[in-house]
Amino acid sequence: MSLAILPAEPDLTDALPAQPSPERLKALALRRSSSAQALAQPGPTPEEQAAILRVGARVPDHGKLTPWRFIVIPPAAKTALVAQLKTIAAGRPDAETATAKLAKLAVPPFTVVVVSQPARDHKIPAWEQELSAGAVCMNLLHAADALGYGGSWITDWYAYDADAVKLLGLEDGERVAGFVHVGTQAAAPLERARPDLGDVVSYWAG
């Protein structure tokens, strides 16, 4: 799909050189997830949604297995989904808390469920395939940010509850890698604590 806001899809024979961009580096250095419940209308247009998905799908994928897929939840369908999840939540031991957490799903105007579907009997380890699904979630956030929207990558009980994932249409061997929510930030998120590089970086010395 070729979109006006994105370059045309390259051909397999096209060379794709590095594209230095101080602006992009600055944006990456300052990126910050939004609270899902702080993502309001307007959400991305249909063209922007398609662009977000296209960028999301452009990730490292060892073996070119495409071990993930998207479930887009349109606003009208989301209303029905949340209503059915409330019924499931009511039967859980933590019913009150589980029901309250559905607000994070109900509020954002655009939601994509990233489903990990690794090929289990393949020479490429399932772990590497699952990491590719995580990269998809991150790229969706980068695309949303580049379009001026806020984004949130979360999971919650409905990503793991057997009845909930069945309702979403997941098949055996599939798992939710994340619910990626996109919308207009009601307010710019505040910075949070970040790890000190000295605590997480080491250098192998032989």
Domain ranges of the chain: 58-186
Contacts of 88 (CB under 8 A, 6+ apart): 158, 161, 163, 164, 167
d(CA 41, CA 100): 21
Q: How confident is the model at residue 137 (pLDDT cuts 50, 70, 90)?
A: very high
Instruction: Evaluate if residue 2 carries a pLDDT over 60.
Output: no
Phi, psi angle pair for 109, to nearest 5° = -75, -20
Q: Which has the closest alpha carbon to 28: 191, 145, 133, 180?
A: 145
pLDDT at residue 1, as a whole number: 40
Q: What is the mean pLDDT of residues 115-144?
A: 98
pLDDT at residue 3, as a whole number: 56
What are 24-63's pLDDT values in tens digits?
A: 999 999 999 999 999 999 999 999 999 999 999 999 999 9
Q: Which stretch of DSSP H or E encloses residue 69?
A: strand 68-73
Instruction: Evaluate if residue 4 carries a pLDDT over 80.
Output: no
Q: Between 164 and 75, where is the model more confident?
A: 164
**Region for 64 from its dihedrals, namely left if φ exceeds 0, alpha if ψ lies in -120 to 50, beta otherwise:** left
| Domain range 58-186, CATH class | alpha beta
150: helix, strand or coil: strand
Burial of 174 (0-12, 13-18, 19+ CB in 10 A): middle
